[in-house]
Amino acid sequence: MPRTGWNIPYGADQTAYLVVDRQSRQGGICCEIEIERTDPETVITDLLAGQFCDPVRVIAFNTLEHWSQDISRDIAAEIQTRCDIEGAAVPEHVEDFVCAHTGPVPQHPRVHGDKGLSQSR
């Protein structure tokens, strides 16, 4: 089956970024769907916006230079960092991706009362 809608970057020496998304289909069968992006910022923005059902990997590749690299750890770490800076939890739709590539996602403590003390249970 031919693929359509691919956004191939113009120019011979550009790096492209491929998000591998595992999407559950009817009957519990999973398949890989590859979605290409042209820069890491777009990948991060799309992941945070929920553009993927179940992202599992991000690959950077450059066909002119003949290399590819799994950059999932870097992307997951950047998502975690942005959420930490904002004081927000990692969105549920990318929590598994972040956890798989960086370790457990920390839980932000809840603040109770006027004293600003957090309680953990």
Render pLDDT for 61-108 as a digit per residue (tens, 0 to 9).
887 888 999 999 999 999 999 999 999 999 999 999 999 999 765 555
Tell me whether residue 39 is in a domain: yes
In a domain, 110, yes or no: no
User: Whole-model pTM above 0.75?
Assistant: no
Q: Give a yes or no: residue 113 inside a domain.
A: no
pLDDT one-digit tens code per residue, 101-119:
997 655 555 444 444 444 4
Look at residue 6 and tell me if it is in a domain: no
Domain membership of residue 73 as a residue range = 16-105
Q: How many domains does the chain have?
A: 1
Does 24 map to a domain? yes
Within a domain: 117: no
Does any domain span residue 112? Answer: no
Of 67, 76, 114, nearest in space to 94 by CA: 76
| Separation of alpha carbons 111 and 88, rounded Å | 13
